Structure 1
Amino acid sequence: MPASYQPHTVGDDDQERTMSQTVDTNLSAAEATVRHVLDDKGDEVVWIQPQETIGKAVEVLRDKRIGAILVKDPQGALVGILSERDIVRRLADTPGRTLPQRVEELMTPEVETCSPDESLVVVLRRMNDGRFRHMPVMEEGTLVGLISIGDVVNYRLTALEYEALKLKQLIVG
């Protein structure tokens, strides 16, 4: 038997047990809401009007480095969303004739939205089931943001990095 071995004794049970996982850390991802993502990301929303050309929309997508753009009418109401996928599909259907077309011809007019207080897990499930990557965030009828699957992944990665740092600090002391 090694010299460092000490058998279990009655007094060993009196020590406070610690755990690397707690109910709080395990539930934190499940309790995260759209508002948490918007708080980190910001609430800037890029939009275009329906009568603009696809060429203009492509420039905005490129310049802002985004994958979708919201479409608002002149009164400011949300009337659609235009994604890179929508444009690529049309490029395949009308090669060389896509850029002059109008946004309203390609946009998705039935836009699924979410509220800031919705669970990220629920919103991600809706996005996955609907096979789309961007969702406008509405609060009391007003557009307050746009989240993407990428935003959610970034939010979760940051949270995991923070949790890992806390664990490292706990271990190191």
Structure 2
Amino acid sequence: MKIVAELLNLKDEQHRAPHTVGPDQRVIEVIILMADKNIGAVPVVKDGKVVGIVSERDYVRKMELKGRASVGTPVSEIMTHDVRTVNSQQTVDQCMNIMTDCRLRHLPVVDDGCLVGLLSIGDLVKEAIAEQKRLIEKLQQYIRGETY
């Protein structure tokens, strides 16, 4: 099973480094960023540290449903403050368990206190499927008596 660092290296150049926002930025800026980059969540960073994350879910629940204005509201008012993170040495299985247990769709990757990447549930599912395909191929080779 691969580790997070390997998954981050597989991402294409435009998705490798995560887009971030500051807690004082306005919600409208985050929504525009997410739409422009076709992403569902953005880590909130202050002084180089992850202090929150803003997702489409946060926007819908804390802005739209409450009739708040995106133009005047700072990100800090709608972001999820209690952010679950992983480091780049954790396995795909560990990340899948965290995301499943905590019902998360995005997981910031932090090494030595610095944000180094962002994993989505899609990234992990894609790798889990690839791992299953590799295992099936090895089993088929074994059954055929081939060495690998």
State the TM bucket, normalised to the shorter chain.
Answer: 0.7 to 0.9
Q: What is the Cα deviation at residue 163 of structure 1?
A: 6.3
Segments of 5+ residues of structure 2 without an aligned counterpart are none
Match of 1:32 in 2: 2
Is the contact made by 1:136 and 1:146 (CA closer than 8 Å) also made in structure 2? yes
Cα deviations by residue, 1:62-88 (Å, 9 ceiling, x for unpaired): 111111001112x22211100110001
Match of 2:30 in 1: 57
CA distance in 2, matches of 1:118, 1:56: 32
CA RMSD of aligned residues (A): 2.4
Alignment of 1:135 onto 2:107: yes
Residue 48 of structure 1 aligns to a residue in which SS? Answer: coil
CA distance in 2, matches of 1:49, 1:64: 17
Is the contact made by 1:34 and 1:116 (CA closer than 8 Å) also made in structure 2? yes
Is the contact made by 1:71 and 1:82 (CA closer than 8 Å) also made in structure 2? yes
In our comparison, the structure showing a higher alpha carbon Rg is: 1
Structure 2: which amino acid aligns with 1:80?
G
Q: 1:85 to 1:122 in 2, by over 3 A?
A: same
Q: 1:154 to 1:99 in 2, by over 3 A?
A: farther
Q: What is the Cα deviation at residue 92 of structure 1?
A: 3.8
Is the contact made by 1:137 and 1:144 (CA closer than 8 Å) also made in structure 2? yes
Q: What is the Cα deviation at residue 161 of structure 1?
A: 5.4
Structure 2: which amino acid aligns with 1:40?
L
Q: TM-score, normalised by structure 1?
A: 0.70
Figure out how many residues of one structure are paired with residues of the other and give that number.
140
Residue 147 of structure 1 aligns to a residue in which SS? Answer: strand
Q: 1:96 to 1:144 in 2, by over 3 A?
A: closer
Stretch moving more, 86-95 or 53-62: 86-95
Q: 1:122 to 1:162 in 2, by over 3 A?
A: closer
CA distance in 2, matches of 1:160, 1:70: 30
Residue 61 of structure 1 aligns to a residue in which SS? Answer: helix
Matches within 5 A, 1:1-150: 31-41=1-11, 43-73=16-46, 75-95=47-67, 97-150=69-122
Q: 1:100 to 1:158 in 2, by over 3 A?
A: farther
Match of 1:6 in 2: none
Segments of 5+ residues of structure 1 without an aligned counterpart are 1-30
Stretch moving more, 49-58 or 32-41: 32-41
Residue 91 of structure 1 aligns to a residue in which SS? Answer: helix
